[in-house]
C-alpha cells in the first residue's frame, strides 16, 4: 500500500475516527486504526466494537487533489502513536507506505517514521452497506430527535433493552421512543417521501451510541443517510460513516401506556413552569427523591410546593393560561419534569392529567402531535 | 495439539462427543470442560469456537487458515469473548461486562461464543451473576467454562452445563515420552506429576529455576528433621528468596507434598509409586524417627497452606505457619 496525502485532510479524518477508539479494549486489534487505500481515496476506520467510525478522504474534491500516487492496500496502525505523529509532521504532504511484513513508513519532508503495523485481516469486518434499504433525514432534525428522547433511557443495566432508543417506521412515520419505566419520551416525524422498500422493524439503538453520534454531528441542513442492516445501524454523511451495534431483544410495547383521555388539562408557559419547578427542587434535592407537588387553584394559578421536613419548605405560584377539568393534587419527580420541559422547547406546553395516581402527558402547546413526554407520578401522603 | 484428529489421540471420548455434536448441529448452550492441567481443555475450546465460526470446514475440521480461524488464534475475533481471572479471581464486574456485551447484537455474525478460563476462580458474586445469564441463553450462544477443579464450581452452574471430563493422560506414557525426549527418569516422573502437557514438562525439566526449587525443597525437609532450630533461618535465607510470588510458592508446596506422599508410599511399601526416586535412602533413614501418622498430618497441613494461599493470605505468613507445624 502506498499513497501521498494532504496532512490537514488526514489530521481531520484521524481526529474523527479517534472518537471511536477507546484505550480499554477487549480485543487487542481494536486499539489500532485501519487505513485502507483504494483508487477512489483513503478510508480510515476506528472502532470500540460498540460503535465504529469510518472517515473517507476522496482523491479529489472540487478540483483540489487530496490523495495521489495510490497503490491500493490496507494496514492497521497503532492508534496510540499515529495521531500524534500526523500532528507533528513538518510538511503539508505525507507519504505513507507499507510492505508485506506490515512495516509502515511515514515520510514528510525531512522526517521519516518506521512503524510496526498489523495484519488488516485481523480487523473486524464491518457490514456491507445496503443502500437500497435506507432513508434520509436532515442532520439537525436527527439531532433534535436524539436530544428529545435519549435523556429518558434507563441508566441501570437490570433491563438492558431499556438503555436504548426504540426506532420504528410505521404508517409513513418515524417514531423514536425511550423509557426507563418511570418516564417516557417519544417523538414522531412524518416520512412521506420514503419509498415502501425500506423495511426494518422495531430496532433498539443504544443510548450511548446516540449520544456519541450527537456529539460528532455538526448542526447543518445537510442530509444524513440512515440504513439498517441485520445487526448494525449506519448513519452516513458525505465523508463520515457512523456505525453502531443494536441492542438485542424486544422492546416493550409502549403505545398502550399512553392514556387517551384526560381529566385535567393545563396550558402553561413552559419557561415559567420550568423556573418554578427548579426553585422548588432546590430544597427537594436534599431529600432522597427530589419530589415536588403540584396543586391546581381556582382556574388561574397552580401552586408548586416542596417540603423536606429537615430542611424547610417552598411554595410557589405560577399563572396558567387555562385549566380545564377536575381539581388536582399530584406529586412527581422535579428532575423528570425539568428534563421533559427542556426537551419540548416551545413557548407554551399542555399538560394532560388523568388523576393523581395516573401518568400524565406533556405536549407542546400548539397542536403538533409529534413530541410527547410521559411521567409517572410519585405516591405521597 | 491443534486439530480435532490430533486431539483425538489424547482425548478420544471428549473429541467424539464434541465432533458428533458439531456434525449433527446439536451444540449445547453451555459446556463445562473439566480436567487437570495440560489435558487440552483450552485447545478443545478453541476448536469448538473455530468449528462454530469457520466457513470452510471439511466435515468438522476447521480450515485453520481462513480469516475467522486466524483471528480466533490471535484473540482478535470480535464475537469470541475470553474471560480470564483478573489477578486471583474472576470478578463480578468481568461477568457484568460480559453480560452487557451480550445484550448487543453481534459485530459480524449473530453467533457468539464466550470462554471462561479457570471458572472455579469466580467469586461467589460473579458465579451468581453468571448463573442468571446461563439460565436464559440467547440463541446462537455457546458458553464454554474451563476448570481444573470441578468441585469448586457451584452445583447450580454445573447442572446447567454439559460436562466434558478430560481424562488425565496416562502418566507412564507421558514419562516414556519424556524419557524419549532426553529427560532423565527422575525428572520425568516429577514433571509428569506436575503437568499433563508434554511440551510444558520438557520446558520444566530444562528450567534452572525448577531444578533449584527441587533442591531447596529437599533441603528444607532435611533442615526440618535434622536441625529444627535452623528451619526459620533457612526459610528466610533461601526459600523466600527463591519462591517469590504466589504461583511459585504453590509449586514449592506441591513439591513438598509429593515428598511426604512418597514417604507414605515408602511406609506402605509401594515403592513403584514413589516420585522422588533419588530420595529412597533418606526415607529409609527417617522411617524410625518419622511416623506415618505425622506424615499424614503434614500432608493435611500443606493442603491447608495451599488453600490459604489461594484465599489471598500473605505467602510469607503461610509458609512460616506451615514450617511451625512441620517442625514440631
Residue A131 has pLDDT above 70, yes or no: no
Q: Do B129 and B213 sit in the same domain of this protein?
A: no
**Among A53, A35, A32, which residue's Cα sits nearest to residue A43?**
A35
C-alpha cell at B131: 448463573
Question: How deeply is B298 buried, as exposed, middle or buried, from its count of CB atoms within 10 A (0-12, 13-18, 19+)?
Answer: buried
Question: How deeply is B46 buried, as exposed, middle or buried, from its count of CB atoms within 10 A (0-12, 13-18, 19+)?
Answer: buried
Burial B264-290 (b: 16+ CB within 10 A, else e): bbbbeeeeeebbbeebeebbeebeeeb
Burial B204-237 (b: 16+ CB within 10 A, else e): bbeeeebeebbebbbebbebbbeeeeebeebbee
Q: Is A84 inside a domain boundary? A: yes
ipTM greater than cut 0.85: no
Q: Is A380 inside a domain boundary? A: no
A61 three-class SS: strand
Last residue of a domain, one of A75, A97, A122: A122
Q: What is the DSSP letter of B204?
A: H
Band of pLDDT at residue B115, cut at 50, 70 and 90? very high
Chain B positions in Cβ-Cβ contact with residue A160 (cut-off 8 Å): 99-100, 103
pLDDT higher at A225 or B279: A225
Query: Which member of B70, B78, B81 has the closest CB to residue A121?
Result: B70
Residue B150 is part of which domain span? 4-165
Residue B215 has pLDDT above 70, yes or no: yes
Last residue of a domain, one of B108, B141, B165: B165
Pairwise CB contact (< 8 Å): A231 & B99? no
Our count of domains for chain B comes to 2
Per-residue pLDDT averaged across A248-277, rounded?
Answer: 88
Chain A positions in Cβ-Cβ contact with residue B104 (cut-off 8 Å): 50, 206, 245-248
Q: Nearest-CA distance from B147 to chain A in Å?
A: 22
Q: Do B13 and B159 sit in the same domain of this protein?
A: yes
- The reply to whether the predicted model has a pTM over 0.80 is no
Q: Do A248 and A283 sit in the same domain of this protein?
A: no
> For B39-88, how does the pLDDT look when each residue is reduced to its tens digit (9 = 90+)?
888 888 998 888 888 888 777 788 888 888 888 888 888 888 888 888 77
Q: Do A112 and A156 sit in the same domain of this protein?
A: no
Q: Do A313 and A205 sit in the same domain of this protein?
A: no
Residue A338 is part of which domain span? 258-375
Q: Nearest-CA distance from A243 to chain B in Å?
A: 10
Q: Is B235 inside a domain boundary? A: yes
Q: Is A68 inside a domain boundary? A: yes
> For B308-319, how does the pLDDT look when each residue is reduced to its tens digit (9 = 90+)?
888 888 888 988
Angstrom CA distances, A162 to A250, A326, B138, B140, stand at 10, 34, 17, 22
Average pLDDT, chain A: 86
C-alpha cell at A224: 444524513
- pLDDT value for A199: 66
Say how far apart CA B241 and CA B213 lie, in whole Å.
Answer: 11
Residue of B nearest to A122 (CA): B71
Query: Which member of A27, A157, A246 has the closest CB to residue B78?
Result: A27
User: Cell numbers 407537588 label which residue?
Assistant: A293
Chain B positions in Cβ-Cβ contact with residue A249 (cut-off 8 Å): 103
Q: Do B238 and B303 sit in the same domain of this protein?
A: yes
> For B31-40, how does the pLDDT look when each residue is reduced to its tens digit (9 = 90+)?
999 988 778 8
> For A342-368, how does the pLDDT look when each residue is reduced to its tens digit (9 = 90+)?
988 788 899 999 988 889 999 887 766
Q: What is the DSSP letter of B236?
A: I
Q: Do B154 and B235 sit in the same domain of this protein?
A: no
Q: Of A144-153, A180-189, A199-208, A315-324, give the lowest mean pLDDT range.
A: A199-208
Domain CATH number, residue B307: 1.20.272
Per-residue pLDDT averaged across B134-160, rounded?
Answer: 85
Q: HSE of A196 in the Cβ direction (CA atoms, 13 Å)? A: 1
Band of pLDDT at residue A130, cut at 50, 70 and 90? low
A125 and chain B in contact, CB less than 8 A: yes
- pLDDT value for A369: 60
- A240-245, strands of its sheet edge to edge: A73-78, A32-38, A41-47, A51-58, A240-245, A232-236, A223-228, A134-138
Domain CATH number, residue B158: 3.40.50.300
Residue of B nearest to A209 (CA): B104
Residue B154 has pLDDT above 80, yes or no: yes
Q: Is B177 inside a domain boundary? A: no
**Among A306, A303, A302, A308, which residue's Cα sits nearest to residue A334?**
A306
Pairwise CB contact (< 8 Å): A247 & B77? no
Q: Is A30 inside a domain boundary? A: yes
Q: Do A269 and A371 sit in the same domain of this protein?
A: yes
Q: Do B161 and B14 sit in the same domain of this protein?
A: yes
Q: Is A354 inside a domain boundary? A: yes
Q: Do B220 and B158 sit in the same domain of this protein?
A: no
Q: Nearest-CA distance from B11 to chain A in Å?
A: 30
Per-residue pLDDT averaged across B252-267, rounded?
Answer: 88
Q: Do B254 and B309 sit in the same domain of this protein?
A: yes
Contact B287, B297 (CB under 8 A): no
Domain CATH number, residue A22: 3.10.150.10
Q: Is A132 inside a domain boundary? A: no
- pLDDT value for A274: 92
Q: Do B272 and B139 sit in the same domain of this protein?
A: no
> For A98-129, how does the pLDDT look when each residue is reduced to its tens digit (9 = 90+)?
888 889 999 988 889 998 988 888 888 887 76
- pLDDT value for A197: 62
Pairwise CB contact (< 8 Å): B103 & A161? yes
Per-residue pLDDT averaged across A8-36, rounded?
Answer: 88
DSSP track, B48-61: HHHHHH-SS-BTTB
Q: Do B137 and B271 sit in the same domain of this protein?
A: no
Q: Do B95 and B149 sit in the same domain of this protein?
A: yes
Query: Which member of A122, A124, A160 has the closest CB to residue B108?
Result: A124
Last residue of a domain, one of A122, A146, A162: A122
Taking a contact as any Cβ pair under 8 Å apart, which residues of chain A between 129 and 158 contact chain B?
157
Q: Do A262 and A355 sit in the same domain of this protein?
A: yes
Q: Do B216 and B159 sit in the same domain of this protein?
A: no
- pLDDT value for A287: 63
Contact B266, B283 (CB under 8 A): yes
Our count of domains for chain A comes to 3
Residue A193 has pLDDT above 80, yes or no: no
Residue A209 has pLDDT above 70, yes or no: yes
Per-residue pLDDT averaged across B258-266, rounded?
Answer: 88
- pLDDT value for A195: 60
Q: Do A101 and A58 sit in the same domain of this protein?
A: yes
Last residue of a domain, one of B165, B196, B216: B165
Q: Do A210 and A275 sit in the same domain of this protein?
A: no
Per-residue pLDDT averaged across A13-24, rounded?
Answer: 88
Residue B171 has pLDDT above 80, yes or no: no
Say how far apart CA B64 and CA B55 lie, in whole Å.
Answer: 11
Q: Is A129 inside a domain boundary? A: no
Distance, first Cα to last Cα, chain B: 47
Band of pLDDT at residue A45, cut at 50, 70 and 90? very high
Domain CATH number, residue A328: 3.70.10.10
Give me the phi and psi of A291, to 5 degrees please: -100, 135
Say how far apart CA A95 and CA A112 lie, in whole Å.
Answer: 9
Q: Is B182 inside a domain boundary? A: no
> For B284-306, how does the pLDDT look when each residue is reduced to its tens digit (9 = 90+)?
888 888 888 888 998 999 999 98
Last residue of a domain, one of A122, A150, A166: A122
Say how far apart CA A348 and CA A83 lie, in whole Å.
Answer: 48
Residue A7 has pLDDT above 60, yes or no: yes
Q: Do A6 and A118 sit in the same domain of this protein?
A: yes
Contact A77, A119 (CB under 8 A): no
Q: Is A237 inside a domain boundary? A: no
Q: Do A201 and A271 sit in the same domain of this protein?
A: no
Amino acid at each position: 500500500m502506498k499513497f501521498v496525502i494532504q496532512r490537514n485532510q488526514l489530521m481531520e479524518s484521524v481526529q474523527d475516527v479517534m472518537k471511536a477508539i477507546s484505550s480499554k479494549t477487549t480485543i487487542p486489534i481494536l486499539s489500532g486504526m485501519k487505513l485502507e487505500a483504494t483508487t477512489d481515496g483513503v478510508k480510515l476506520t476506528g472502532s470500540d466494537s460498540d460503535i465504529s467510525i469510518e472517515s473517507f478522504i476522496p482523491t479529489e474534491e472540487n478540483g483540489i487533489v487530496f490523495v495521489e500516487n495510490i497503490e491500493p492496500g490496507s494496514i492497521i496502525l497503532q492508534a496510540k502513536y499515529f495521531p500524534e505523529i500526523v500532528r507533528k509532521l513538518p510538511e503539508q504532504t505525507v507519504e505513507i507506505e507499507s510492505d508485506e511484513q506490515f512495516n509502515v513508513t511515514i515520510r514528510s519532508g525531512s522526517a521519516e517514521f518506521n512503524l510496526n503495523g498489523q495484519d488488516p485481516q485481523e480487523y473486524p469486518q464491518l457490514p456491507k452497506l445496503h443502500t437500497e434499504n435506507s432513508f434520509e433525514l436532515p442532520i439537525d432534525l436527527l439531532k433534535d430527535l436524539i436530544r428529545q428522547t435519549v435523556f429518558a433511557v434507563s441508566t441501570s443495566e437490570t433491563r438492558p433493552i431499556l438503555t436504548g432508543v426504540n426506532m420504528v417506521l410505521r404508517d409513513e412515520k418515524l417514531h423514536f421512543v425511550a423509557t426507563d419505566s418511570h418516564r417516557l419520551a417519544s417523538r414522531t416525524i412524518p416520512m412521506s417521501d420514503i419509498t415502501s422498500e425500506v423495511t426494518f422493524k422495531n430496532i433498539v439503538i443504544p443510548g450511548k451510541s446516540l449520544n456519541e453520534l450527537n456529539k460528532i454531528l455538526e448542526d447543518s441542513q445537510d442530509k444524513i443517510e440512515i440504513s439498517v442492516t441485520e445487526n448494525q445501524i449506519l448513519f452516513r454523511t458525505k465523508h463520515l460513516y457512523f456505525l453502531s451495534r443494536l441492542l438485542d431483544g424486544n422492546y416493550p410495547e409502549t403505545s398502550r401506556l399512553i392514556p387517551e383521555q384526560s381529566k385535567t388539562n393545563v396550558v402553561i408557559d413552559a419557561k415559567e413552569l420550568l423556573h418554578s419547578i427548579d426553585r422548588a427542587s432546590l430544597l427537594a434535592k436534599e431529600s432522597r427523591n427530589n419530589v415536588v407537588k403540584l396543586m391546581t387553584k381556582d382556574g388561574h394559578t397552580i401552586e408548586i410546593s416542596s417540603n423536606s421536613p429537615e430542611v424547610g419548605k417552598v411554595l410557589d405560584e405560577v399563572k396558567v393560561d387555562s385549566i380545564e377539568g377536575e381539581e388536582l393534587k399530584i406529586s412527581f419527580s422535579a428532575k423528570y419534569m425539568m428534563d421533559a420541559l427542556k426537551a419540548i422547547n416551545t413557548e407554551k406546553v399542555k399538560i394532560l392529567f388523568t388523576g393523581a395516581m395516573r401518568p400524565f402527558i406533556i405536549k407542546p402547546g400548539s397542536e403538533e402531535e409529534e413530541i410527547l413526554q410521559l411521567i409517572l407520578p410519585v405516591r405521597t401522603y | 495439539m491443534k486439530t480435532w484428529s490430533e486431539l483425538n489421540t489424547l482425548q478420544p471420548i471428549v473429541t467424539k462427543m464434541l465432533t458428533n455434536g458439531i456434525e449433527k448441529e446439536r451444540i449445547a448452550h453451555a459446556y463445562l470442560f473439566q480436567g487437570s492441567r495440560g489435558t487440552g481443555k483450552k485447545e478443545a475450546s478453541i476448536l469448538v469456537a473455530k468449528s462454530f465460526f469457520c466457513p470452510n470446514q471439511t466435515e468438522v475440521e476447521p480450515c485453520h487458515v481462513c480469516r475467522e480461524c486466524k483471528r480466533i488464534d490471535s484473540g482478535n475475533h470480535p464475537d469470541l469473548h475470553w474471560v480470564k481471572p483478573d489477578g486471583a479471581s474472576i470478578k463480578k464486574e468481568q461477568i457484568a461486562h460480559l453480560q452487557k456485551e451480550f445484550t448487543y447484537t453481534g459485530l459480524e455474525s449473530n453467533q457468539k461464543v464466550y470462554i471462561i478460563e479457570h471458572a472455579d476462580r469466580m467469586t461467589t458474586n460473579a458465579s451468581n451473576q453468571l448463573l442468571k445469564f446461563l439460565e436464559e441463553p440467547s440463541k446462537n450462544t455457546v458458553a464454554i467454562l474451563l476448570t481444573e477443579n470441578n468441585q469448586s464450581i457451584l452445583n447450580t452452574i454445573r447442572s446447567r452445563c454439559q460436562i466434558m471430563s478430560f481424562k488425565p493422560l496416562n502418566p507412564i506414557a507421558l514419562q516414556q515420552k519424556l524419557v524419549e525426549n532426553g529427560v532423565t527418569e527422575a525428572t520425568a516422573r516429577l514433571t509428569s506429576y506436575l503437568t499433563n502437557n508434554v511440551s510444558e514438562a520438557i520446558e520444566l525439566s530444562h528450567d534452572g529455576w525448577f531444578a533449584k526449587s527441587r533442591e531447596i525443597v529437599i533441603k528444607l525437609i532435611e533442615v526440618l528433621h535434622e536441625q529444627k532450630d535452623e528451619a526459620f533461618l533457612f526459610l528466610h535465607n533461601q526459600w523466600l528468596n527463591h519462591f517469590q510470588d504466589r504461583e511459585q510458592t504453590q509449586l514449592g508446596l506441591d513439591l513438598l507434598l509429593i515428598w511426604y506422599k512418597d514417604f507414605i508410599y515408602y511406609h506402605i511399601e509401594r515403592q513403584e509409586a514413589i516420585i522422588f526416586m533419588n530420595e529412597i535412602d533418606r526415607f529409609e533413614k527417617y522411617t524410625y524417627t518419622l511416623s506415618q501418622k505425622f506424615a499424614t498430618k503434614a500432608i493435611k497441613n500443606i493442603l491447608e497452606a495451599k488453600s490459604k494461599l489461594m484465599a489471598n493470605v500473605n505467602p510469607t505468613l503461610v509458609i512460616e505457619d506451615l514450617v511451625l507445624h512441620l517442625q514440631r
